[in-house]
Chain A
Amino acid sequence: MMDESNPYLPYEVEIKETWYETPGERAIKTFKVDFVDSSVWDTWSHKPGQCAMVGRLGVGESMFCISSSPTEEGYLRFSVMKMGKVTRALHQLEVGDTMTVRGPLGNWFPVNEWEGKRIVTIGGGIGQAPLRPVINYVRANRAKYEDLTVLYGSRTSADLCFQEELECLISEEETTCHLSVDVEEESWEHYVGFVPNLLMDVSPSPENAIAVTCGPPVMIKFVTQNLVKLGFEPEQIYTTLENRMKCGIGKCGRCNVGHLYVCKHGPVFSYAQIKDIPEAFA
């Protein structure tokens, strides 16, 4: 856990492995990190969906979901899209370099309450990052859950994150995995179209199911509408919200949607919680 006497102090972590998930101007780079002070592991504990402020001394920090499941031991993973000042500085780092982690912060997907249920994840682009720990948590506790269905799409096949793992998901018997790209491309064997359409094509049953969706706001909007069409109740639909953050502990003010602080009350919300808060979709 975070230093409770001072929640602004980050831990230093060393990069053990790093690679690019996707290319381009807004490339996504994944970092596998370990605490410089290994005793942090004695008290560290995070749950699927929780976040951390990741940064560099001298530059600043930004909020990212911890994209590794707590069942993956000995490291934390973060997948960072090159976007602003902090993420550009993070992208310059290589194996052996240090960065800072402050967390875990926020709430989590209630995976314990979901035991005995069918889990459907619907991701788009970098939105797969917060879903990855859910998927891996369910896979590591396979007997406790019914079906696991993974729906994941991106603009082009090159924009799909975690590609090697997707192959695994497709080949393993206990998981159903459907992929999509927005537009037709050569040798693409999966669905072509937007993620909300992929969802309707697969049409998962709402019976005893939980749907978790993360991705661009416009995708979440249409996926949610389609889930409702398929018969999912607002209580069965979960998503994560994001906003600009500085403190990560419900004090600095800016991340609120209505009275909810995304950093403290979220990032995980059920659709039932936010459907009447229009700022959640702003």
Chain B
Amino acid sequence: MADYVFQKEKIEELLGGMAKNYEVHAPLLNAGIVRFGKVEEGGPALAKLDDYSNSSVPPKELLFPQTETLFRYRLGTGGIEPKVPDAGAKVAVFGIRPCDAQAFAIVDKLFGWDYPDPYFQNRRKSTVLIGLACSSPCSTCFCTSLGGGPTNDEYLDVAMYDLGNEIYLKTVTEKGDELCKSISDLLEEASPSHLEACQNQSKEAASKIRRSIDTNGIPEKLPALYDNPFWEQFSDRCLGCGICTYLCPTCHCFDIQDEVEVFDGRRARMWDTCMFEEYTRHASGHNPRPTRKERTRNRVSHKYSYFPTNFGVIACVGCGRCIKYCPVNIDIIDILEKSIAVEVKEAG
């Protein structure tokens, strides 16, 4: 694997070079919101790399779009036309943070078990992740509690470090190598001093993470709190808006709906959330999770108990978005800390 540098002021030139072979997505700044999108002339401006600690909307939508067509059909004529994305396409995601890349590795397990999901998996295969190490984490970040870190390159194809005037680039996978070779005329060789600067930045960034949670024992403890009134202290103020799940990089739940215009129809899937009442409501009207208490319990238990029971890994990367954007300040770390503290009465 190789390492390079480029001048930060040449970033648009670099993205332009990449765009010759790849469909390039990068963090764009639009109306105060940083969200990944296709870099296009006349489109929203590129967010400055030191402007966003993390994008407001996670880049999960690039692999798992908010709404996506599964297949199309014409009523009355029979025949179904699948709309599976091309695994051979070349897509580059520039500036993804290490936590959001880690989230892909988590949901890989779900989209891969039993019946692999070709929509997610083909996009995953075609996508190169060019990550950007965090030098100044947010006050809500707790990635170091979940096996990640502000400069973790484990889930990236290329890792970038913002060194002020220069950006240092390190290839992590062959996919990343291939991408860097395709723009090698725009890159310069890195020196040992660059590497040293990165190492210093890593140490410094990790020390800036202010929040943490010891996850030991939580997956085993949460099921024992199923009937515990403990949940009500959080669910009582929950508005049920679902933002904690929509902005979560590991939340993967979806709905499937048919849409028809005259005779032309499509079956599409779209993000859904366990925080909504309709999510589990049976056709009979019966709802196994009738109130926000059950729904809050499911959100937290799914991430910190059910998912690890099924897949061996907690479905949270500590990006902190659910804490940062909750309109009523529900804080998952607070819930987890209190879940450890609460006493469980033995059944009987």
A residues contacting B by CB (< 8 A) are 2, 4-10, 12, 36, 57-62, 83-87, 98, 242-244, 246-247, 249-254, 256-259, 264, 277-279, 282
Q: Is B191 part of the contact surface with A, judged by Cβ < 8 Å? A: no
A137–B265 alpha-carbon span in the complex (Å): 39
Question: Hey, which chain B residues are within 8 Å of A258, CB to CB?
Answer: 223, 301, 306
User: Beta-carbon contacts of B274-291 to A below 8 Å, as 1s and 0s?
Assistant: 100001111110001100
Q: Do A10 and B294 contact each other (CB < 8 Å), given the known contacts A57-B265, A62-B283, A251-B252?
A: no
User: Is the Cβ of A253 less than 8 Å from the Cβ of B274?
Assistant: yes
A242–B280 alpha-carbon span in the complex (Å): 11
6 closest Cβ pairs, A-B complex: A84-B283, A253-B253, A7-B115, A259-B306, A282-B288, A259-B309
- B117, B254, B288 pick with most chain A CB within 10 angstroms: B288
A264–B114 alpha-carbon span in the complex (Å): 8
Dominant secondary structure at the B interface: mixed
User: Is the Cβ of A10 less than 8 Å from the Cβ of B80?
Assistant: yes
A254–B305 alpha-carbon span in the complex (Å): 16
User: Is the Cβ of B117 less than 8 Å from the Cβ of A251?
Assistant: yes
User: Is the Cβ of A9 less than 8 Å from the Cβ of B80?
Assistant: yes
Q: Is B256 part of the contact surface with A, judged by Cβ < 8 Å? A: yes
Checking A252, A264, A277 against B253 with a beta-carbon cut-off of 8 angstroms, the contacting residue is: A252
User: Is the Cβ of A9 less than 8 Å from the Cβ of B117?
Assistant: no
A86–B119 alpha-carbon span in the complex (Å): 25
A250: nearest residue on chain B (CB-CB)? B114
Q: How far is the CB of B162 from chain A (nearest CB, A)?
A: 36
Q: Kindly list 9 other residue pairs between chains A and B, CB separation below 8 angstroms, not including A58-B75, A250-B110.
A: A8-B71, A8-B269, A58-B265, A98-B78, A246-B256, A246-B272, A250-B113, A254-B274, A278-B226
Q: Is B73 part of the contact surface with A, judged by Cβ < 8 Å? A: yes
A220–B309 alpha-carbon span in the complex (Å): 27
Question: Hey, which chain B residues are within 8 Å of A246, CB to CB?
Answer: 254-256, 269, 272
User: Is the Cβ of B272 less than 8 Å from the Cβ of A253?
Assistant: yes
Checking A6, A60, A254, A277 against B272 with a beta-carbon cut-off of 8 angstroms, the contacting residue is: A254
A247–B274 alpha-carbon span in the complex (Å): 15
Question: Hey, which chain A residues are within 8 Å of B252, CB to CB?
Answer: 251, 253
Question: Hey, which chain B residues are within 8 Å of A254, CB to CB?
Answer: 253, 272, 274, 279-280
B284: nearest residue on chain A (CB-CB)? A83
A277–B226 alpha-carbon span in the complex (Å): 9
Q: Do A5 and B279 contact each other (CB < 8 Å), given the known contacts A253-B272, A254-B253?
A: no
User: Beta-carbon contacts of B183-209 to A below 8 Å, as 1s and 0s?
Assistant: 000000000000000000000000000
How many CB-defined contacts (below 8 Å) exist between A and B? 115
Q: Do A279 and B226 contact each other (CB < 8 Å), given the known contacts A58-B260, A87-B283?
A: yes
Return 9 A-B CB contacts under 8 Å, by A number: A8-B70, A9-B70, A9-B80, A85-B283, A242-B282, A251-B111, A251-B117, A252-B269, A259-B310
User: Is the Cβ of B288 less than 8 Å from the Cβ of A243?
Assistant: yes
Residue tally, chain B, CB below 8 Å to A:
50
User: Is the Cβ of B115 less than 8 Å from the Cβ of A2?
Assistant: yes
A5–B82 alpha-carbon span in the complex (Å): 11
Q: How far is the CB of B83 from chain A (nearest CB, A)?
A: 10
A82: nearest residue on chain B (CB-CB)? B283
Q: Is B38 part of the contact surface with A, judged by Cβ < 8 Å? A: no
User: Is the Cβ of A6 less than 8 Å from the Cβ of B82?
Assistant: yes
Q: How far is the CB of B152 from chain A (nearest CB, A)?
A: 26
User: Is the Cβ of B253 less than 8 Å from the Cβ of A244?
Assistant: no
Question: Hey, which chain A residues are within 8 Å of B288, CB to CB?
Answer: 243, 257, 279, 282
Taking CB atoms and an 8 Å cut-off, the chain B residues in 289-331 that contact chain A are 289, 294, 298, 301-302, 305-307, 309-310
Q: Is B124 part of the contact surface with A, judged by Cβ < 8 Å? A: no
User: Is the Cβ of B71 less than 8 Å from the Cβ of A252?
Assistant: no
Checking B71, B111, B115, B267 against A4 with a beta-carbon cut-off of 8 angstroms, the contacting residue is: B115
Taking CB atoms and an 8 Å cut-off, the chain B residues in 208-256 that contact chain A are 223, 226-227, 252-256
A282: nearest residue on chain B (CB-CB)? B288
B113: nearest residue on chain A (CB-CB)? A250
A277–B306 alpha-carbon span in the complex (Å): 12
A243–B286 alpha-carbon span in the complex (Å): 10
Q: Do A259 and B280 contact each other (CB < 8 Å), given the known contacts A251-B111, A252-B255?
A: no
Checking B70, B227, B258, B283 against A59 with a beta-carbon cut-off of 8 angstroms, the contacting residue is: B258
B259: nearest residue on chain A (CB-CB)? A58
Question: Hey, which chain A residues are within 8 Å of B284, CB to CB?
Answer: 83
A258–B301 alpha-carbon span in the complex (Å): 8
Q: Do A252 and B78 contact each other (CB < 8 Å), given the known contacts A6-B118, A83-B283, A244-B282?
A: no
Q: Is B257 part of the contact surface with A, judged by Cβ < 8 Å? A: yes
Question: Hey, which chain A residues are within 8 Å of B335, CB to CB?
Answer: none
